[in-house]
Amino acid sequence: MSTTPPGSIPQPLRRNHVDIVDTFAEAFPIKAARLVITAATPRWALIAATEFCGNATSVIACDVEAAIERSIPAEETPDGHPGVAVLVFGFSIEGLSKAIQGRVGQCILTCPTTACYNGIHGCPKEKQIRIGGALRYFGDGFQKSKKLEDRRFWRIPVMDGEFLCEDWFGTITGIAGGNLLIGARSTSAALQATEAAVDAMRTGVDIALPFPGGIVRSGSKVGSKYPKLKASTNDAFCPTLRSMTKSELPTECQAVYEIVIDGLSYDAIQSAMRRGLQAATAQPDVVMITAGNYGGKLGKHHFHLRDLL
């Protein structure tokens, strides 16, 4: 991806002696859902959520993008058990529905002591997806439904009791593709700064960092010399290719890591990016922070790094 709109030369800003490229991250509308996964213990709620989020880093090659949003104490969950909130993103309600059904069925229904609830309420019927109602057939006729006010739940018998899953889950239009690229004088320094940025971002809500540990080592650009590939390595940010391509790295920059942020609102992503940028610039040996965009032509949401300062 290009980090510079055509015809412009971004001028560095600075924070804590770190160059902040005067550019923006470009992001796109996307459908989003929130699942609240509970279990008898925090350990099993986290295991179920982690399994659910497997292979969900990028819709370039995955059915959805998903990540843990936060832990939820027992007093705030529908059943009084400790829980974990997961955010899931897909390009269509139909695709989101199919992916969530499959992942709940394979990763949460199968996990000891779990239950699964809708985490986005107040959506019109046409923006809801059916999860419990689709999985109930696993009960082979022994499943039961229970309605509390306007919410229906399915009780599916399993070998440790019952799996309780809400029937309908709400969706909203979220945003995918907020990002920061953090460059430093060494791999260890870049990783330390990016880890600090991830930790700072995760102190908020309504955002998800779908890549492993919230960090991307294999940043991509659109397209490839190989026609079948939708994306390929972002050579402008690969230190080993500095002499073979049009590099965007300062001479002293030896490693770059990217953070991709999906969220339920513009403000949630912008706030997360601000926390991340401030945390990263406080770390030693960071030399550059920039962001990826497509010249502003593909995504309507633009997060200017200048505004984060």
User: Domain extents for the chain?
Assistant: 13-23+176-308, 29-170
pLDDT for the residue numbered 11: 55
Q: How far apart are CA 174 and CA 96, in angstroms?
A: 13
Q: How far apart are CA 41 and CA 83, in angstroms?
A: 8
Task: Name the packing angle between helices 187-201 and 266-281 (round to 10°).
Answer: 140
Do the domains 13-23+176-308 and 29-170 sit in the same CATH topology, yes or no? yes
Q: Does domain 13-23+176-308 have CATH number 3.30.70.520?
A: yes
Return all residues near 38 (Cβ < 8 A) that are at least 6 apart.
45, 72, 77, 78, 79, 81, 82, 83, 84, 114, 115, 116, 117
pLDDT tens, residue order, the chain (309 aa): 444 444 445 556 999 999 999 999 999 999 999 999 999 999 999 999 999 999 999 999 999 999 999 999 999 999 999 999 999 999 999 999 999 999 999 999 999 999 999 999 999 999 999 999 999 999 999 999 999 999 999 999 999 999 999 999 999 999 999 999 999 999 999 999 999 999 999 999 999 999 999 999 999 998 999 999 999 999 999 999 999 999 999 999 999 999 999 999 999 999 999 999 999 999 999 999 999 998 888 899 999 999 999
Q: How far apart are CA 175 and CA 270, in angstroms?
A: 11
Rounded to two decimals, what is the model's pTM? 0.93
pLDDT for the residue numbered 10: 53
DSSP state of 239: G
- The encoded tokens of residue 25 equal 């991250």
Residues in the chain: 309
pLDDT for the residue numbered 297: 82
pLDDT for the residue numbered 294: 86
Which CATH architecture does the domain made up of 29-170 adopt? 2-Layer Sandwich (3.30)
Residue pair 135/72 in contact (Cβ under 8 Å)? The answer is: no
Strand partners, 220: 233
Residue pair 57/210 in contact (Cβ under 8 Å)? The answer is: yes
Query: What are residue 302's phi and psi, to 5 degrees?
Result: -120, 125
Residue pair 10/288 in contact (Cβ under 8 Å)? The answer is: no
The one-letter amino acid at 95: G
Residue pair 129/35 in contact (Cβ under 8 Å)? The answer is: no
What is the secondary structure of 11-68 as a DSSP string? PPEEETTEEE-S-EEEEEEEEEEEEEEE-SSHHHHHHHHHHHTTT-S-TTTSS-EEEE
pLDDT for the residue numbered 151: 95
pLDDT for the residue numbered 12: 60
- CA 66 to the chain's CA centroid: 5
The one-letter amino acid at 227: P
- The encoded tokens of residue 244 equal 């073979």
